């Protein structure tokens, strides 16, 4: 065993797990606010800004979401058998993480890219897809947060 709960290596792994989670989900809260503001003021460069968001999506947010889950496996593995994948809350958290990755990589990032490429004419189908997938990933983040904090069934 590399470390146990409370040891420095475990705490570093937990810190990195939480940090990557914050980075991964920052856009779930900031992008809709920014997009709404740009729409309300009639900002001409809205599609370009959303295109920039998409270009950083995989580099920063997508990578952070993947790392967050992988680090979570590390945290569970270093937990001295306190947390195991056979526990319902942790198995559910893994499923939620996989679904969130699917939404981000399969719906949100492609929709942002399509909006960025559409220019001022817009891309209504991509806008709708982005709004739906963005709302879903935000709800799933809240479910994930609940699972991580309260660990139901533990």
pLDDT in tens, 98-130: 999 999 999 999 999 999 999 877 899 999 999
Residue 1 belongs to a domain: no
Tell me the three state secondary structure of residue 63.
helix
- Whether 3 maps to a domain, the answer reads no
79: domain range? 8-148
pTM: 0.88
- Residue 117, in any domain of the structure: yes
- Sign for the pseudo-dihedral over CA of 126, 141, 8, 5: negative
* Domains contained in the chain, number: 1
Report pLDDT digits (tens) over 125-137: 999 999 999 999 9
Question: What is the greatest pairwise CA distance in the chain?
Answer: 57
């Amino acid at each position: 065993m590399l470390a146990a709960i409370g040891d420095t290596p475990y705490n570093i792994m937990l810190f990195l797990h939480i940090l990557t989670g914050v980075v991964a989900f920052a856009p779930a809260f900031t992008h809709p606010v920014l997009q709404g503001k740009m729409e309300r003021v009639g900002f001409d460069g809205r599609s370009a800004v959303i295109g920039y968001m998409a270009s950083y999506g995989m580099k920063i947010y997508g990578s952070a979401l993947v790392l967050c889950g992988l680090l979570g496996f590390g945290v569970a593995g270093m937990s001295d058998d306190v947390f195991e994948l056979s526990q319902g809350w942790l198995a559910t958290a893994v499923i939620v993480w996989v679904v969130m990755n699917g939404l981000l990589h399969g719906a949100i990032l492609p929709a942002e890219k399509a909006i960025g490429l559409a220019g001022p004419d817009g891309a209504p189908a991509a806008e709708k897809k982005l709004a739906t997938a963005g709302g879903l990933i935000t709800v799933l983040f809240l479910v994930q947060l609940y699972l991580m904090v309260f660990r139901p069934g533990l």
